[in-house]
Amino acid sequence: MPMEPASRLPMPEAANAAGLEGASMRGLASRWYIDPAAARVEHERLFAGEWVAIGAASDLANPGALLPVDVNGVPLLALRDESGAVHVFHNVCSHRGLKLVEGPCNVRGVLRCPYHSWSYALDGRLRATPSIGGPGVHRVEGFDKDRHGLKPVRSAVWFDQIFVNIDGRARPFEDLVGPLQARWRAFDPGAFLHGTSDSYLRFEVECNWKLAVENYCEAYHLPYVHPGLNSYSRLEDHDNLVEPDRYAGQITRVYNPILAEDGSSLPSHPGLDDYWRHGAEYVALFPNLLLGLHRDHFFAIRLEPQGGGRTVEHLHFYYLGEGAAGERFAPLRATNARIWRQVFAEDVGVVEAMQRGRRSPAFDGGLFSPVMDTANHCFHRWAAARLG
Ligand code: FES
Ligand SMILES: [Fe+2]
């Protein structure tokens, strides 16, 4: 099934150079990167009001596994129930508001609050309220346990990533990912398995999370910031990928890294056409998930904002079949992780310098190239539509 080419979309206002000067061609104002008050608005509209990625489902290895996550200070709790399903709840006890779980852990059957020992089933139901009616009296007239379980959060799992919509008002998840799912229909998301312990990288970057998105979306900087990568996947091998209001990024027509001197390679996904045998795609699914899809591996980078000027990036690698955990593929996984670590480390200097640049009174949004920055323009339009 041939893949339609990525579009080199002209921006509506930017068919010519004059468009560069138009008001709609300016980027988001600097306050959206440096002002704590702006970060609070952003949390409500771009995080609580949308589908945000909070973690990898494979980190919930067994039934009863619990994973606490904070989204801009909102404490959430992802867990795997006895049937294997993933649920997300607000991480707070219904009684006196204790944050229930502070670190990843496993429970058997119930989650017990350490304060007064109220306990919850893994489906969120409040199961026991010891001594609520006095010593040894575990019921009280008029108190309906069914109304006071853990408060559920809308959630979905896709390509092993757990998404939540905190305010419950975002569009259906299928609507958000539908176009990308269709674009990536040649791949079975379930075929990608999380690699072993060599398949997680963490970066701490002194920049607003949006700069990490913006830098990921464009290939423009490739020859200047990534000379190594540019030696086998050149700027002219890339094109923009834009799906308004959902995602943006880039494709490369040349994906062919050499992972081993002896020519061995990681297992590839079956049934791919020429497009996917030779190319790869990199998209930012708004707001906070950066994805990379290749014939032999997939990665997801979750951006975790830490205040307006700092971001933690969590990078998980996924491989196919024996490639995910097989000992004989360990050197190839390690090389792959090393190559990507190098690429992403090269980006740190420029995103941190863009953050510092946003303190300048001479900059307030900047300019977009009508050809090279279309993906970033798409991201800014998505944000601006919500921020007003
Ligand atoms: S706060 Fe949890 S049982 Fe009291
Ligand atoms: Fe880069």
The three-class DSSP label of residue 271 is coil
Parts of the chain belonging to CATH 2.102.10.10? 53-157
Look up residue 2 and give its two tokens. Answer: 């041939």
Alpha-helical segments (H) within 196-273: 209-217, 222-225, 227-230
DSSP lists the bridge partners of residue 56 as: 161
Residues of the chain predicted below pLDDT 70: 1-24
Round to whole Å and give the CA distance between 261 and 252. Answer: 24
156 CB-contact burial (10 Å; exposed 0-12 / middle 13-18 / buried 19+): middle
Q: Is 96 in the pocket of ligand 1 (CB under 6 A)?
A: yes
* CATH 1.10.10.10 assigned to 17-50+175-387: no
> Ligand 2 centre from 179 Cα, in Å?
25
How far apart CA 246 and CA 239 sit, in angstroms, is: 18
Q: Give backbone dihedrals phi and psi of 7, rounded to 5 degrees, phi first.
A: -95, 135
Q: Is the CB of residue 115 below 6 angstroms from any atom belonging to ligand 1?
A: yes
* Spatial CB neighbours of 338, under 8 Å, sequence gap ≥ 6: none
CATH fold for the domain made of 53-157: Rieske Iron-sulfur Protein (2.102.10)
Distance between CA atoms of residues 80 and 57, nearest Å: 9
- Atom number of ligand 1 nearest to Cα 113: 2
Query: Would the CB of 126 count as within 6 Å of ligand 1?
Result: no
What is the best residue among 89, 92, 98, 100 to mutate for testing ligand 1's pocket, by most ligand atoms within 8 Å of CB? 98
Q: What is the distance between the alpha carbons of residues 25 and 181, in angstroms, rounded to a whole number?
A: 29
Strand partners, 289: 285, 302
DSSP 313-374: EEEEEEEEGGGGT-GGGHHHHHHHHHHHHHHHHHHHHHHHHHHHHTT-TT-SS----TTT-H
pLDDT tens string 313-371? 999 999 999 999 999 999 999 999 999 999 999 999 999 999 999 999 999 999 999 99
Which residue has a Cα nearest atom 1 of ligand 1?
96
Closest to 209 measured CA to CA, from 342, 313, 317 = 313
User: Is the distance from the beta carbon of residue 139 to the nearest atom of ligand 1 less than 6 Å?
Assistant: no
Residue 22: per-residue pLDDT: 52
Helix (H, G, I), strand (E, B) or coil at 22: coil
Answer yes or no: is the C-beta of 118 below 6 A from any ligand 1 atom: yes
**Which pLDDT score, from 0 to 100, does residue 24 have?**
54
Q: Which ligand has the minimum distance to the alpha carbon of residue 215?
A: 2
- Among 240, 312, 290, smallest CA distance to 8 is for 240
Q: 101 with 66: CB under 8 angstroms? A: yes
Please give the C-alpha separations between residue 198 and each of 93, 202, 259, in angstroms, as whole numbers: 36, 12, 15
Q: What is the pLDDT at residue 17?
A: 39
Q: Looking at the chain, which residues constitute the CATH 3.90.380.10 domain(s)?
A: 17-50+175-387
Question: What per-residue confidence (pLDDT) applies to 11?
Answer: 41
Task: Give pTM, 2 decimals.
Answer: 0.93
User: Which residue reads 């398949």 in tokens?
Assistant: 199
Q: In the 8-state DSSP scheme, what is residue 7? A: P
- Structure confidence at residue 26 (pLDDT): 82
Tally the residues of the chain.
388
Q: How far is the CA of 196 from the centre of ligand 2 (A)?
A: 25
Ligand 1 pocket member 120 (CB < 6 A): no
